[in-house]
Amino acid sequence: MQTNKENNAGGVVASSAPQRAPLKETTKSNVVNEADGLHKDSVNSDSLEDKDKQKWSLDNFEIGRPLGKGKFGNVYLAREKSSKFIVALKVLFKSQLQKSNVEHQLRREIEIQAHLRHPNILRLYGYFHDAVRVYLILEYAPRGELYKEMQAQPHSRFDEKRSAKYIMQLANALKYCHTKKVIHRDIKPENLLLSLRGDLKIADFGWSVHAPSSRRTTLCGTLDYLPPEMVEGKAHDEKVDLWSLGVLCYEFLCGKPPFEAESNSDTYKRICSVDLRFPSHVSDKAKDLMVKLLRHSPRDRLSLDGVLQHPWIGQWTEDRSTVPPPKK
């Protein structure tokens, strides 16, 4: 597998690589179908992992339908030609990365995500670039964006059972990240995908760093998921992800983030004063978990082990399948 230590992502922007043909939609002869390359024992990611010495290029892939849109480019379904292995190809435009001065963030994203191996973290198999674009070869998550699944639910929210399952899977993935001193810092529904079995995958490591950290990049977009220490621009550690887990738990159960407001400055005030109110349908156990995660002081927040042992998680995620007792 090419994690490309030698081909350091430092070369991502100043490239002398020959320009490739523009990314095209597929023709009839090379249509990439999501059923292709999935569930075939003979096709697995080993074929991608072996390609350590050789460099990837766009010629290695057939490109299919767009899977998602991002600020710096789009994600496409793609199939590696020789192995037929299905991946998601994230295509980023160098000009846009440069304009927003986020090349360092992309290098960090690649370096961090390529080294993580966990069932609830999307794999990054490798990357390559040409004169115009950077391409990330990512695991394909067939059930797509969790955000869309949430929007499709009645009242745009999940029930307690499903929310507890996702929070447990996230807590497990974050526990793994934190043992490696990686803090994600951008846990929100838009950055979560679903596998074929409906398991959650953390997808975007664009804001992740090694702890401890101070923020030097300007915040853009929503403040909704950020803890007080980050909106106030203070030094922070992995406990920022505990806060975001509490925010996410609230959004799963209530259909909107807890500190949502008309303006960024009002959201800022609500975050810093921890202005937390629950709709009446939320259970006492769920409220207890969120209150314990959404603490202003990072050291007062419930640990990830505390989350995994919390009665609300236990209530909904225990295997309750009743196996009949053996006959005497």
* Residues catalogued as catalytic: 186
Question: Binding to ligand ADE by residue 144, rule CB under 6 A?
Answer: yes
Yes or no: say if 267 and 261 are a contact pair by the CB < 8 Å rule: yes
Among 86, 173, 193, 294, binds ligand ADE (CB under 6 A): 193
Piece of the chain touching ligand ADE by CB under 6 A; list 47-55, 103-111, 136-144, 166-174: 136-144
Among 88, 167, 200, 313, binds ligand ADE (CB under 6 A): 88
Question: Binding to ligand ADE by residue 150, rule CB under 6 A?
Answer: no
Distance separating alpha carbons of residues 274 and 137, to the nearest angstrom = 39
Which of 256, 241, 233 has its CA nearest to residue 303? 241
Question: Binding to ligand ADE by residue 61, rule CB under 6 A?
Answer: no
- Min dist. Cβ of residue 140 to ligand ADE (A): 5
- Min dist. Cβ of residue 152 to ligand ADE (A): 15
Yes or no: say if 206 and 109 are a contact pair by the CB < 8 Å rule: yes
Distance separating alpha carbons of residues 196 and 172, to the nearest angstrom = 19
Contacts of 162 (CB under 8 A, 6+ apart): 252
Question: Binding to ligand ADE by residue 32, rule CB under 6 A?
Answer: no
Both tokens of residue 221? 């977009």
Piece of the chain touching ligand ADE by CB under 6 A; list 18-26, 43-51, 67-75, 111-119: 67-75
Other CB atoms within 10 A of residue 198 CB: 13
Q: Is 296 exposed, middle or buried (0-12, 13-18, 19+ CB in 10 A)?
A: middle
Distance separating alpha carbons of residues 304 and 241, to the nearest angstrom = 10
Question: Binding to ligand ADE by residue 140, rule CB under 6 A?
Answer: yes
Question: Binding to ligand ADE by residue 92, rule CB under 6 A?
Answer: no
- Min dist. Cβ of residue 130 to ligand ADE (A): 21
Piece of the chain touching ligand ADE by CB under 6 A; list 135-143, 174-182, 226-234, 283-291: 135-143
Q: Which is nearer to ligand ADE, 128 or 312 (CB)?
A: 128
Yes or no: say if 82 and 73 are a contact pair by the CB < 8 Å rule: no
Question: Binding to ligand ADE by residue 68, rule CB under 6 A?
Answer: yes
How would you label 120-135 residue by residue, b for 16+ Cβ within 10 Å and e otherwise? bbbbbbbbbbbebbbb
- Min dist. Cβ of residue 204 to ligand ADE (A): 8
Question: Binding to ligand ADE by residue 67, rule CB under 6 A?
Answer: yes
Give me the residues that bind ligand ADE (CB under 6 A), please: 67-68, 75, 88, 122, 138-141, 144-145, 193, 203
